[in-house]
Amino acid sequence: MLLIAAALEEELEAGLALCQDRKMIHGRVTSLWQAERNGKKICFLRTGFGPERSAASLDRALAVVKPAGILVIGYAGGLDVNLKLGYLVAVRRALAVSLDKDRPGWNHARIDDSFELADSEILARSAGAAGLTACTGDALTSAYVLGKPEHKALLYKKFQASIVDMETAALARVALQRSIPLSCVRAISDEVQDTFLAPFSHEPLGKIRSRIKRLMDAGMMQTFRQWRDHAAVARKSLSRFLSCYL
């Protein structure tokens, strides 16, 4: 049995909407569903966002279900300028990135752990078969939102990772502890030069007052509309991929 995991329910719906006989699995995990596609049972887990929350969710889910493999899906920010909105990246390695407490700038970010993921080439080929533009690449997993183009460009130059997200490496750590192969495919929801997430971006040396001012100055309704429009494109790519892959 395959377990598909995503941070947000709307990301998960890209797969759930393709399935039949959908039902919630009761128990300690309330964001866990079971469904069928083409006669096969598939479980779906909404992990919540961020490394700690998602890892704890997966750990609880694996006490309830015993999948043969895990597929992580969702949105990601592009770090490579060649990655455009809606493109898919099948992750080869998930890299856990953190900030140095003594030197908290993004230019001093470091890799704490690295995880080799399964089936990246297979996922990329499946995306291609669905008529999507896809590639393989590494993913940075950060505990913070990364929304400023200069920060994205800096991390790409430093680590050569294709995308950034907030869950993959943390989920990979849990899967490795359980000896369960984990793979990941993510759709680009914001390109390197996109700035609509910049008001939420973590400034290691900034103060909370300046962050609030950025949020007020950005125009929250406009920011929200941009996010929704971009997420809709990314979600469509995920749905087309899963329709072929599953």
Q: Per-residue pLDDT tens for 58-109? A: 999 999 999 999 999 999 999 999 999 999 999 999 999 998 888 778 888 9
Query: In this predicted structure, what is the pLDDT of residue 195?
Result: 87
**Between the CA of residue 121 and those of 91, 134, 184, what are the distances in Å?**
9, 10, 11
pLDDT, residue 208, reads: 47
Q: What is the pLDDT of residues 107-125, one digit of tens each?
A: 889 999 999 999 999 999 9
**In the chain, what percentage of residues exceed pLDDT 90?**
78
Q: Lowest-confidence range among 48-52, 100-104, 206-210, 233-237?
A: 206-210
Calculate Rg over the CA atoms of the chain. Answer: 17
